[in-house]
Amino acid sequence: MTKPQFTLKTFSYRQLMTHLRTPLYRNGYALILSTGITSALGLLYWAVAAKFYITENVGLNSAVISIMIFLSGISQVNLQETMIRYIPIAGKRTPRMVIYTYLIVLGLSALVGVIFCLGIPIWAPSLTFLTQSPLLIAWFIAAICIWGIFVLQDSVLTGLRQALWIPAENAAFSIIKILLLVGLASIIPQTGIFISWSVSVLLIIIPINILLFRRLIPRHAATVITQDSSIPLRQISKYVAGNYAAALFSNMASTLLPLIITQVEGAQANAHFYLAWTIASALQIMTANMATSLTVEASLDKGNIESYRRRALIGIYRLIIPAALLLIVAAPIILRFVGQSYVPEGAPLMQLLAVAAIPNVYNAVYISMSRTNNRVAAIIAIFGANAILVLGLSHFFLPMYGIAGVGLAWVISQTVIALTLMARTRWQSRKIAPVEAVIAKAE
153-169 pLDDT per residue, tens: 988 998 887 878 888 89
Cβ contacts of residue 230 below 8 Å, gap of 6+? 89
250-263 pLDDT per residue, tens: 878 887 888 788 88
pLDDT at 3: 45
**C-alpha pair distances (Å), 416 with each of 167, 357, 426:** 33, 13, 16
Cβ contacts of residue 336 below 8 Å, gap of 6+? 342, 343
Q: Pick out the chain residues at pLDDT < 70.
A: 1-28, 224-239, 242, 299-302, 431-443
Cβ contacts of residue 131 below 8 Å, gap of 6+? 117, 120, 121, 137
The helix-helix angle for 2-21 and 23-52 (nearest 10°) equals 80
Determine the 3-state secondary structure of 167 from DSSP: helix
User: Residue 42's Cα: distance from chain center in Å?
Assistant: 14
**Residue 316 contacts residue 290 (beta carbons within 8 Å):** yes
Cβ contacts of residue 156 below 8 Å, gap of 6+? 83, 87, 98, 212, 217
Find the length of the chain.
443
Residue-range domain boundaries for the chain? 23-442
Q: In this structure, what is the dihedral angle of CA atoms 392, 397, 403, 406, given to the nearest 10 degrees?
A: -40
Radius of gyration for the alpha carbons in the chain, expressed in angstroms and rounded: 22
* Calpha distance 86→15 (Å, rounded): 31
pLDDT at 150: 93
Cβ contacts of residue 142 below 8 Å, gap of 6+? 198
> Letter for the amino acid at 96?
R
* Calpha distance 130→79 (Å, rounded): 28
Query: Against a cut of 0.85, is the pTM above it?
Result: no
For 19-81, give the DSSP string: HHHSHHHHHHHHHHHHHHHHHHHHHHHHHHHHHHS-HHHHHHHHHHHHHHHHHHHHHTTTHHH
* Calpha distance 129→52 (Å, rounded): 20
Q: In this structure, what is the dihedral angle of CA atoms 149, 88, 425, 31, given to the nearest 10 degrees?
A: -50
How many C-beta atoms surround the C-beta of residue 336 within 10 A? 14
**Residue 186 contacts residue 171 (beta carbons within 8 Å):** no
pLDDT at 7: 45
- Of 209, 206, 282, the closest CA to residue 37 belongs to 282
